[in-house]
């Protein structure tokens, strides 16, 4: 598997904000979002090659978050199985454009949909939606997400003040929404 980085920190966004976690950032992404803060992960050739057992050995926390780029461009079966057998909880962060592989047992799936191009969310299991508040977010989209998913977060684009204000306006309008700030960036930690 092509790995861009593995590090131990805290989850900085979404439902598990503040939890100690190991992060596995895999190479490759099938989208090119202008606000992406991990553009170095876009090429499938980025990073370095590691076997599943080598990745697992570097994950020191009970909670492991597999992210990218887009991690579903890789076969995650062996890695997820290995980590779960070690007693670790495995979370996946995906853009939602690819289906989850059959037989993979993930503890949590966070989808950050990107509606720049027309697509339907593909994962069969979605525990939380983190919608980056960009110009594509609108009442119709937010109402649809709230109808389909029980845990929907709005996340300001790059902590832009205008984006923060739009998040707050939507949360006032739809009180079941939640705000997700990238706490790791506010604290200036990885």
**Residue 50 structural domain:** 2-186
* Residues lower than pLDDT 70 in the chain: 115-120
Instruction: Give the pLDDT score at 177.
Output: 97
pTM of the predicted protein model: 0.92
Instruction: Give the pLDDT score at 138.
Output: 87
Instruction: Give the pLDDT score at 157.
Output: 85
Q: How many CB atoms lie within 10 A of CB 185?
A: 14
Instruction: Give the pLDDT score at 120.
Output: 64
Q: Per-residue pLDDT tens for 104-134?
A: 999 999 999 876 555 567 777 899 999 998 7
Looking at the structure of the chain, the number of domains it has is: 1
Contacts of 133 (CB under 8 A, 6+ apart): 154, 155, 156, 157, 163, 164, 166, 167, 170
Instruction: Give the pLDDT score at 45.
Output: 95
CATH number of the domain residue 71 falls in: 3.20.20.70
């Amino acid at each position: 598997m092509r790995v861009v980085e593995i590090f131990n920190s805290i989850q900085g966004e979404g439902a598990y904000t503040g939890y100690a976690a190991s992060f596995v950032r895999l190479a490759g992404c099938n989208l090119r979002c202008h606000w992406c803060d991990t553009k170095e992960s876009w090429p499938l050739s980025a990073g370095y090659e590691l076997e599943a057992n080598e990745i697992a050995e570097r994950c020191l926390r009970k909670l492991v978050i597999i992210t990218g780029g887009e991690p579903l461009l890789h076969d995650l079966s062996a890695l997820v199985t290995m980590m779960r057998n070690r007693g670790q909880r495995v979370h996946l962060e995906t853009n939602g454009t690819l289906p989850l592989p059959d037989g993979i047992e993930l503890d949590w799936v966070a989808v950050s949909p990107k509606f720049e191009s027309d697509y339907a969310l593909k994962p069969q299991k979605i525990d939380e939606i983190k919608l980056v508040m960009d110009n594509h977010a609108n009442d119709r989209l937010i109402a649809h997400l709230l109808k389909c998913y029980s845990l929907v977060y709005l996340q300001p684009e790059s902590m832009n003040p205008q984006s923060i204000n739009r998040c707050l306006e939507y949360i006032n309008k739809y009180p079941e929404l939640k705000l997700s700030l990238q706490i790791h960036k506010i604290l200036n930690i990885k």
